[in-house]
Structure 1
Amino acid sequence: MSGGRRDKTGSRTGSKTGRLTRRAFLIGSVAVAGGVAFGVYQARQPHPNPLGGDRPDPAGADDDPAVTLNPYLVVDTDGVAIVTPRAEMGQGVHTTLAALVAEELDLPWESVRTLHGPAAAAYFNAAVLAAAVPYPSWDHGWLAEGLRDVAGVAGKLLGMQLTGGSTSTADAFVKMRKAGAAARSVLVQAAAARWGRDAASLRTDGGAVVDPGSGERLPYTTLAADAAAIEPPADPPLKPRSQWRLLGRSLPRVDMTAKCTGTAGFGIDVQLPGMRYATVLANPYPGGIRGGFDAGKTEDMPGVVQVVDLGPEHGDALAVVADNTWRAFQGAEALNIDWRPAADVTGDSAAMLDVIAASIDTQAPDATPRDDGDVEQALRIARAEAKPMVEAEYRAPFLAHTTLEPPAAVALREPERLTLWCGHQAPTLLRDLAAEQAGLDPEQVDVRVQFLGGGFGRRAEVDFALQAAAVAEAMPGTPVKLTWTREEDVRHDLYRPAAVARCTGVPGRDGLPETAVLEIASPSVMRSFAGRAGLPAMGPDKLITEGAAMQPYRIANYRVVGYAPSSPVPLGNWRSVGASFNGFFHECFLDELAAAGGQDPLAMRLALTRDYPFAQAVLETMRELAGWDRPLPTDDGRRRGRGLAMTHSFGSTVAQVVEVSDGTDGIRVERVHCVADVGLALDPAIIEAQMQSGIVYGLSAAIMEEITFKDGRVQQSNFHDYDALRLAQTPEIRVRILQSGEAPTGVGEPGTPPSKPALANAVFAATGKRIREYPLNKHVTFA
């Protein structure tokens, strides 16, 4: 695909990326679009191949629920294209997933093309449910592994194609390599049959099968049809790590050329013939009602085509359709609507946080995922002996996602079909809910996933795309692009919940903590999301305590309790979810315990992690990287301080040291040191970029971001009052990557949780101010 070429939908395609739909490839015939597909089949009842060409499972019964039938590779007349069925939202996932297949298939990297693939249960994510098992990721005992296997089976049965939870690479690590290895096997067999030679004597190189004896080469493109008729092996051998050519290296990203040249197709870029443009105006009061409206002024405006009442299922929102997006925005501003608040959302943010805090006293726990030792006995003794105790309450606000690309989707309703173009993290969920809304079967809904201009969990939600489908329903045969204004985006987000933690700790005689109790209250994100998605939400919500309960520290009496108060505010997944506030609570509290015990923060953590070699390695590496034992300079008259935090989340252990200075212009965040153990590093440059991104996202929230409510409505509306770090404020960031495992762990989210507490701890070190809530700019001034 050449740079900037338009496909048949009018969407721009990049130089190495494209879109794969079930219409485009009818795999199984010798050449429709010139292609055949290969997959790996390792489940009792594999999901149907969405590309066609299914075969019975050659392996028969198989007890491994983590690997299933997945067509990942297309060989066509243009060469080889790899299906990378996860949303590319800037994190580089298409590059790493493509490398998994290309490595086993001996493809030259410069020839690789990627295709997102259709919305299909065959691309389910098993790892995201396995990660929800209530055992720490380092626990590989029979019970923990057995539950992960069961969760993987549940993920298969659910069939949700999902990009989230920093699980994309972990989920694909084996299955996509096996897809490449299986394809290689049948290609070699096809060449052996054509030449009349022993397959074991042949090898592959540069996208071709090679006979070392004669030097003859047969490109994969010429063997594809023959290979499609050969049964692939059930469990093909994989290359040992010592033979990897692509994995473990920093590769040129497959999406970079298109994004640098402006030819990448995001959801907001889709253009179709005869298109109309829409926006929505919804109630600024969460859960509120509409008393009435007058659209007369809007309908008389130039370019306005129609005003569509989206009805109660879309919160009584109104859509304005026009001949361009700007006129739709102007028409929405002219609507006269009687918005009324909900009865249960009448307070302000402080009152909401007080209600959350009160749940610790008034509700039964949702879960107690960590309860080591005898906390009650330890606290009784501490009080009886008048031991020094640390008691603290921490608070975290509601937060918005503010993806750079605002919510946008294109919809086309035809008599027996609905097509949606948008960037989305859960295309099968969107397909099914859109089908239900439109009165169609899921097979009649085609979701074409585009590049995402940021996701962070926001684009796992379906609200904006279902609104586009509803507008298209009112205008059959006409493609409609619906784009939210930034004001609608900020005021109608599915917010990161506010949270409160009450912490009690007792330093022992050696200065190390002997007792630590964290009681954490936060409304349940998973129950809120599951309710909107029509999914079951059974049992405790692990996310409420994630980033606090399963940490690699050993304290004699150590308890973490979660409470799940209800919330009238709509909630959603936000980058690192519960760990985004629990990292702050847990690591700030550990620093308070270090200070109370007269301990160096790093030395204390090293003492508490003696049972966890991987955490020790992270901390020791941080000691060297940050120069922890060297004093900071003081020759310019500014007060300086370092702050340390370490959080284990999404299978990865990440420590950060933030350095700040304080002067007459305020506090400057000067540099951040980051050490990340990611299990197995498949692409170091992408991992480093993701750590940097997570740090900037976390520091933005720590310093300045907060969603507040007054009289039941959100007060913020755009970047002027919900800002993020600008380039001039962004510190130097240094990243060191460690590898302690045989498989990759998460990288998209683990960089965010330690950033906030590391900054707060640095502010304390520089100024002596202990801040127990963020944003920190409510208490100190930043330069």
Structure 2
Amino acid sequence: MGRVRTIARRSFLIGSAAILGGVAFGTYLYKRDPENPLAADLGPGEATFNPFVKIDAEKVTLITPRADLGQGAYSVQAHLIAEELDVDLDTVVIEPGPPAPAYYNGVVAAEGMPIAATSDSLGARTGRGAANVVGKLMGLQLTGGSSTVPDMYERLRVAGAVARETLILAAAQQTGLEAAQLRTESGAVVLPDGTRLDYTDLAAVAAEIEPVADVVLRDPAQWRHLGKEHQRTDIVAKSTGTQTYGIDLSFEGMLHATTRTNPGLGGALERFEAGEAEAMRGVKAVLPITGGIAVVADNTWRAFQAARAVDCTWGPAPYIGETEKQFAEVAASFVDDRQDSRFKDRGNVQAKLEAAAEVVEAEYRIPYLAHAPLEPMNAVVKLSDGRLDIWTGTQIPRFMQASAAKIAGLDADQVHLHVLVSGGSFGRRLEDDYVRQAVEIAVQMPDVPIKMTWSREEDMTHDFPRPLAIARGRGAVSGGAVAAFDLAMAAPSVTASQLGRIGQPALGSDVAIVAGAWDQPFAIPDYRVTGYRVPPMVPVSSWRSVGASGNGFFHESFFDELCHAAGVDPLEERLRLCTHTPSRKVLEAVGEMSGWGSDLGEGRGRGLAFTLSFGVPCAQVVEVSDTGDGIRIDRVFVAAEVGRVLDPVNFEAQLSGGVIWGLGHAMNCEITYEGGAAQQDNFHAFEGMRMHQAPQIEVRGLENGDRIRGIGEPGVPPAAPALGNAIFAATGKRIRALPFWNEVDFV
């Protein structure tokens, strides 16, 4: 741990000196570790060595604070600790832990900085160090941005190693042997004669010992868990229907609630008449909440039915209410006073385009998209005797704790948040609106547990969607090569919208507007990427892969168009221009996997796309057939570079899931608005890929990078452009707007 701390502190001092002209602010606070929340209520004989490991006479408990949203976060965090602690995961308890500054995320803030993942300059290192400082000083406990593994890779291994070495020291004190004579194995310290002392038997002695500060992490060649194929810790529960989600919870005396709020997000409730609803069977109360009403009943179905019976008069939506006019506002935003960023500006694009014999031009569009997790928003709340308990799934536990405390008129330490596994999120549980509603109900009905559940329709139409956007590309080719690439995109700011909902300002440019486009590792001679910020309209939020989800489509569709205009092979041209060795190897791998360049036959085509997002180079090749009845997606090949594949099975699952997610939304999905209200209110109108449409997917993980990366999001951005490029290769039809089903059918 000493070495880890030294590196982190050095990075902080360098970063603060560079950023603030030599004033090293907050050095003392940064050096001081946050309090260990597990130490607050330790009982006799219980030991905790750090915020991630607790042991008593009965069990070993591992704390996995990054939220599990279906992506396997609890499992990989547990394996990181277990590798160094030397325990088998079927013998331990895994818990998410409480909201606490100790569980800060020191990596995710860097995603909001204009730092290219491929850069190792002093400025880049300084920026990443500053992001770590911000995360720690703010106690930024947040799950997102594929940051769980990068942020926790070393911290959790160190935590396990500290616990292991302290337990060895406890065994040495108990037996009178030298610590160097002892070793660990599967949850026990082993003496030279083979006698095993279980960790649980050493808890009382270890509780009296100062945790070992300096540890040596095990060589990966010695790993038993990491890098090996194994079963996720939740797979049995999820395969047998025994996993407990928030929607499954039940308490004695519990009542059930649901809500209806203005279909125009943020709009007011002007009046309501609840007489019919209040007379319905099982209804206990109809209550006003911010922007709408809540119905409390003796079961969820009756609450749903009664909520529909309440006659509400809604105020107007506080934004442009029709999709056509929303897109018009986006189109009008390509003007100087709305320019938000130009992080990429190589050469002289304007001069090259003016001198070009022919300029290639194209415009692309993407729609709003809902998160639509399978488990709709829900929470169980109980307010009693100055204590508020909340059971729910969330990616922002400390923000949620603070907002709930404000609504209930309590201090944060009076709010006890019990974080549960979520049935999907894709960024939706970075919001706390559903818990705010539940707490408003609890304040009006204290001393009884209330389960608040949104209907599917309420969930879909009251989502904060992925923003719509338009991109305009202008380029030139020369001598059979891409010579100039000018891409501009306009979109509302996700960052400003999200931060505004938690009362925080958004400072500077929003990197999300151009993420997945400005930082691509290609040495195009004249290369420019510009972001324009559209004034706020529908409140928007982070959606799986955030800005890269749409910008990958923009960048790689236009790249393909330029390659075809130049008469050059799209893979060969990317390889020629690629300046980043790990990205080059990813492109080479996907080309080899897919047999790129071989003849597929008439009516078939391959499409290639590459996106570097969240530090991960990911390339995909999609093969399609034009069947006459529609497009069939036959096979998809995916290669990605994450530095080290810690869980090969889940790595493949995450990339395959990202492909299905990206393709399904590109094929079929959009949210449109009329009168301020979302028009798609259930899965029949927001249809992902069907099982019979799912292609064969081949995945390859590369390990050539110098940093550990996460894989939950990078599989999404290349999917849509690879499909679009494949459709063009098979049919000659270039589609520049999503979803594709507006122009082609799929079978």
Output the TM-score relative to the length of structure 2: 0.94
Aligned to 1:253, what secondary structure does the other structure show? coil
Structure 2: runs of 5 or more not aligned? 1-27, 43-48
* Number of the residue aligned with 1:567: 536
Aligned to 2:332, what secondary structure does the other structure show? helix
Mapped to 2, the partners of 1:142 and 1:469 lie a distance apart of: 46
Letter of the structure 1 residue corresponding to residue 232 of structure 2 = R
Matches within 5 A, 1:214-253: 214-253=193-232
**C-alpha distance after superposition, 1:229-273 (max 9, x if no partner):** 222233311111221111111221111122122221101111111
Question: Which of structure 1's runs of 4+ aligned residues deviate more than 3 A?
Answer: none
Aligned to 1:413, what secondary structure does the other structure show? strand
Mapped to 2, the partners of 1:100 and 1:344 lie a distance apart of: 46
* Number of the residue aligned with 2:239: 260
Q: Does 1:341 align with 2:316?
A: yes
Mapped to 2, the partners of 1:592 and 1:740 lie a distance apart of: 30
Provide the aligned length of Structure 1 versus Structure 2. Answer: 714
Matches within 5 A, 1:435-450: 435-450=405-420
Mapped to 1, the partners of 2:481 and 2:93 lie a distance apart of: 54
Distance 1:53-1:302 versus aligned 2 partners, 3 A rule: closer
Q: Does 1:717 align with 2:681?
A: yes
Aligned to 1:436, what secondary structure does the other structure show? helix
- Give the one of 136, 148, 155 matched to 2:128: 148
**C-alpha distance after superposition, 1:629-662 (max 9, x if no partner):** 221144xxxx111100000001111101111111
CA contact 2:514–2:531 (8 Å) conserved in 1: yes
**C-alpha distance after superposition, 1:720-773 (max 9, x if no partner):** 111111211111111111111354212000000000000000010011111111
CA contact 1:543–1:579 (8 Å) conserved in 2: yes
**C-alpha distance after superposition, 1:108-146 (max 9, x if no partner):** 243233111111111111110123331111212222111
Mapped to 2, the partners of 1:652 and 1:337 lie a distance apart of: 48
- Give the one of 115, 120, 133 matched to 2:100: 120
Mapped to 1, the partners of 2:571 and 2:471 lie a distance apart of: 23
- Give the one of 704, 721, 729 matched to 2:668: 704
Letter of the structure 2 residue corresponding to residue 87 of structure 1 = A
* Number of the residue aligned with 2:329: 355
- Give the one of 448, 464, 468 matched to 1:494: 464
Mapped to 2, the partners of 1:468 and 1:53 lie a distance apart of: 28
* Number of the residue aligned with 1:533: 502
* Number of the residue aligned with 1:668: 632
* Number of the residue aligned with 1:612: 580
Mapped to 1, the partners of 2:214 and 2:524 lie a distance apart of: 44
Mapped to 1, the partners of 2:152 and 2:353 lie a distance apart of: 46
**C-alpha distance after superposition, 1:696-742 (max 9, x if no partner):** 11111100100001232211111111111121111111111111135
Q: Does 1:273 align with 2:252?
A: yes
Q: Does 1:630 align with 2:598?
A: yes
Aligned to 2:87, what secondary structure does the other structure show? coil
**C-alpha distance after superposition, 1:416-452 (max 9, x if no partner):** 1111000111111100111111111100001101110
Q: Does 1:93 align with 2:63?
A: no
**C-alpha distance after superposition, 1:292-324 (max 9, x if no partner):** 1110000000000000101xxx2x210011000
Aligned to 1:110, what secondary structure does the other structure show? helix
CA contact 2:29–2:137 (8 Å) conserved in 1: no
Letter of the structure 1 residue corresponding to residue 437 of structure 2 = Q
- Give the one of 272, 285, 300 matched to 1:306: 285
Distance 1:70-1:575 versus aligned 2 partners, 3 A rule: farther
Q: Does 1:413 align with 2:394?
A: no
Aligned to 2:371, what secondary structure does the other structure show? coil
* Number of the residue aligned with 1:59: none
* Number of the residue aligned with 2:307: 332
Letter of the structure 2 residue corresponding to residue 378 of structure 1 = K
Shift of the alpha carbon at 1:43?
A: 5.4
Mapped to 2, the partners of 1:167 and 1:146 lie a distance apart of: 18
* Number of the residue aligned with 2:589: 621
Matches within 5 A, 1:40-189: 44-52=31-39, 70-189=50-169
CA contact 1:286–1:341 (8 Å) conserved in 2: no
Aligned to 1:657, what secondary structure does the other structure show? strand
Distance 1:54-1:301 versus aligned 2 partners, 3 A rule: closer
Q: Does 1:773 align with 2:747?
A: no
Distance 1:354-1:551 versus aligned 2 partners, 3 A rule: same
Bigger mean CA offset, 337-346 vs 745-754 = 337-346
CA contact 2:30–2:133 (8 Å) conserved in 1: no
CA contact 2:320–2:326 (8 Å) conserved in 1: no
Aligned to 2:376, what secondary structure does the other structure show? coil
- Give the one of 683, 690, 693 matched to 2:657: 693
**C-alpha distance after superposition, 1:454-479 (max 9, x if no partner):** 01110110000110111011110011
Mapped to 1, the partners of 2:40 and 2:294 lie a distance apart of: 42
Mapped to 2, the partners of 1:659 and 1:250 lie a distance apart of: 29
Mapped to 1, the partners of 2:553 and 2:724 lie a distance apart of: 8
Q: CA RMSD in A?
A: 1.6
- The percent identity for this pair of structures is 47
* Number of the residue aligned with 2:25: none
Mapped to 2, the partners of 1:169 and 1:42 lie a distance apart of: 25
Flag the structure with higher helix content: 2
* Number of the residue aligned with 2:363: 393
Bigger mean CA offset, 327-336 vs 230-239 = 230-239
Letter of the structure 2 residue corresponding to residue 407 of structure 1 = M
Shift of the alpha carbon at 1:363?
A: 2.9
Mapped to 2, the partners of 1:262 and 1:343 lie a distance apart of: 42
CA contact 1:267–1:451 (8 Å) conserved in 2: yes
CA contact 2:268–2:292 (8 Å) conserved in 1: no
Structure 1: runs of 5 or more not aligned? 1-40, 56-68
Mapped to 1, the partners of 2:538 and 2:306 lie a distance apart of: 28
Mapped to 1, the partners of 2:452 and 2:302 lie a distance apart of: 12
Output the TM-score relative to the length of structure 1: 0.89
Aligned to 1:504, what secondary structure does the other structure show? strand
CA contact 1:287–1:341 (8 Å) conserved in 2: no
Shift of the alpha carbon at 1:388?
A: 2.1
Mapped to 1, the partners of 2:537 and 2:121 lie a distance apart of: 40
CA contact 1:406–1:485 (8 Å) conserved in 2: yes
* Number of the residue aligned with 1:649: 613
Mapped to 2, the partners of 1:136 and 1:706 lie a distance apart of: 30
Matches within 5 A, 1:420-569: 420-509=390-479, 511-569=480-538
Q: Does 1:294 align with 2:273?
A: yes
Mapped to 1, the partners of 2:442 and 2:407 lie a distance apart of: 12
Aligned to 2:609, what secondary structure does the other structure show? strand
* Number of the residue aligned with 1:323: 298
Mapped to 2, the partners of 1:388 and 1:647 lie a distance apart of: 27
Distance 1:620-1:209 versus aligned 2 partners, 3 A rule: same
